[in-house]
Amino acid sequence: MPAPKNSIRRSLLVTSAIVLSTALTAPAAFAAPSPSAGSSSKPSADSSATVSADPPKTPSKKPKNSKGSKDSKGSKAAPPAKMSTVGGALLGRAGTQVNLASGVPVLPKGLSARSWIVADAESGEVLAAHNAHWKLAPASTLKMLFADTLLPKWPSSTEHEVEPSDLAGIGSGSSMVGIKEDETYTVHDLWLGVFLRSGNDAVRVLAAMNGGVENTVAEMNEHAEELQALDTVVVSPDGYDAEGQVSSAYDLTLIARSGLQKKDFREYASTVRADFPGETRKNKKGKKVRESFEIQNTNRLLSGDYDIPVYQGIAGVKNGNTTEAGATFTGVAEQDGRVLLVTVMNPEKKEGNQVYKETAKLFDWGFEAAGKVDPVGELVPPRSAAQAGARPGGAGASPGEAGGTGEGALGAADGRPVASAAAGGGAGGVGTALAVTGGVLVLLAGGAFLVNRRWPLPDLVRRRPRP
C-alpha cells in the first residue's frame, strides 16, 4: 500500500505552545451544544459550518479531580469556558471543533464522550476535536506517560526480585497482573503486565526500581512538561484516582504519539496475549517449578469482545477505567497507509464497551475524512525539538527504541513486510508482530521541520480483517 502523499504539508512552524493561535483565521468550526448532540444536524454540503454553540456562561462546580468535570456519582457537568490553546486556538474552545465543508463527511451520531480528539499520527494535524483540553481524570491511560518516561531506563532482560515494599500503596480495587513477593521478573515481563493487564502491581515494581513512587511521579510530570502536555498533572504513576490528577484528550494523544516512536512501546501496546510468570511451587517430587499463565490485552479494539469486533488496523495503545475517570481510551490504527490517533474520555452512555464503540466510529470518520478536512489544530512537538528547530541547522531525532538509538523499519531484505516477529519472554499472538507498514510516519525532530521515519506497526494486526 502506498504511503499517503502529504509530505508537502509537513512543515510545522511550532516554536511555542501557542504559536498556532493563527488558526483563528481558518474557517469557522462547528461546535456541538452537547456531547450527545454533536452530530445530529448536518450542515449544507456547499458551505463550511459555523460556530453553533457558545461556551457555558456558568461553569458547573469543580469536583476534586478536574475542572468542569463530573463528580464520582456521574452527574453531568460542562467544560470550563476557558481551556488551553496549545495546538491551536480552536482547540481551546468548548464543544466540537471541525471544519465541515463540501466533501467532508459529517461526524458520526451517538458520540457521548465528554472529550475526544482525532489526529493524523504522521502530520500531527488534528482533524476534529471535542473539548480537547478539558482536564479530566485519565485513569490507566496515564500509564502511557509512565511507559514513555521509564522505558529507556533498563534493557528488557534486566531482572528484579520483588520485595514487599515494592507493592506497598496499591489502591483498593486496582487492576493487577498477579506479581508475587520474592519472585524474580524481567523488565520485559513487567512491561507486559503494565500494557496488557494494566497491572498497578507491575507499575509499582517498576517505580520502585526507579527510586520510588515520588521520584517517578516527579519524572513523569517533568516529561509531560517537555512534551508540552500542559494539562497533565501526575499524582499516582498508575493512573489510580488521586486528588488533583488530571490530563486531557489532547495531552493523552501527544503522549501516545511520543511513546509510539519507541519500538518496544509499539511492541507492548500491540501485544494481544502473552505468557506471564507465575508463582514458584514445589511439584510432587519436591522440585521447585515455576509455571506461567496467559494474560490478554484488555484493549477490546485489539482483542475483541462479545459485542465489539477487532478493529481493522488497530495497533494499540491503552485503555483505562476508574470511578472518577469513567472509561478512557487512546488508540492508534492504520488503514491504506494512513495512521490515526483517537482519544476518547468518559462517554456519557454507560453501555458495555461504549468507549471502544465511540473510538471505532471516530476512526471510521477519520479515515474517511483524512485528506478532505482542513485541520482545526495540530499536535505540537516537544519543547526540546522546538528549540532545536529554532537553532540554525538544529535537529535532534528522538530514539526509535527505548534505551537505544533510532531504528528504521523492520522488514525483509527485499522490502516486503515481515510476517511476524514474536517478542521474547513468552509474548505471543499476532499483536507482537513488528513489521513494516505501508505508511511513512514522522518522527519529530524540530520546530520548523520533521524527519521522515517509519513506525513499524504490527503488520498482521494491520491486515487482519474485521470479523
- Nearest by Cα to 251 from 413, 374, 83: 83
DSSP 308: B
* Helix (H) and strand (E) counts in the chain: 10, 14
The C-alpha atoms of residue 245 and residue 351 are separated, in whole angstroms, by 26
384 and 14 in contact (C-beta within 8 Å)?
no
Length of the chain, please?
467
Single out the residue of 366, 309, 310, 308 nearest to residue 117, CA to CA: 366
Taking the CA atoms of residue 264, residue 269, residue 275 and residue 278 in that order, the dihedral angle to the nearest 10 degrees is 90
What are the two backbone dihedrals, phi and then psi, of residue 155, each rounded to the nearest 5 degrees?
A: -60, 150
List the catalytic residues: 140, 143, 198
- Inter-residue contact 427 to 193 (CB < 8 Å): no
- State how far the Cα of 353 lies from the Cα of 467, in Å rounded to an integer: 17
- In angstroms, the CA 206 to CA 404 distance is 19
Q: Specify the pairing of strand 338-347 against strand 326-335.
A: antiparallel
CA distance 44 to 95: 20
Any bridge partners for residue 442, and if so which? 452
Tell me how far apart the terminal alpha carbons of the chain are, to the nearest angstrom.
21
Amino acid of residue 424: G
- CA distances 414 to 51, 300, 374, 420, 436, Å, are 51, 34, 37, 16, 12
Phi, psi angles (nearest 5°) of residue 305: -155, 180
- Residue that is written with C-alpha cell 508540552 in the block: 228
Cβ–Cβ < 8 Å for 316, 269:
yes
- Cα–Cα distance between 232 and 253 in angstroms, integer? 12
Cβ neighbourhood burial of 59 (10 Å; 0-12, 13-18, 19+): middle
Residue 141 has what DSSP assignment?
G
Per the structure block, which three cell numbers stand in for 326? 469513567
**Residue for cell digits 462517554?**
347
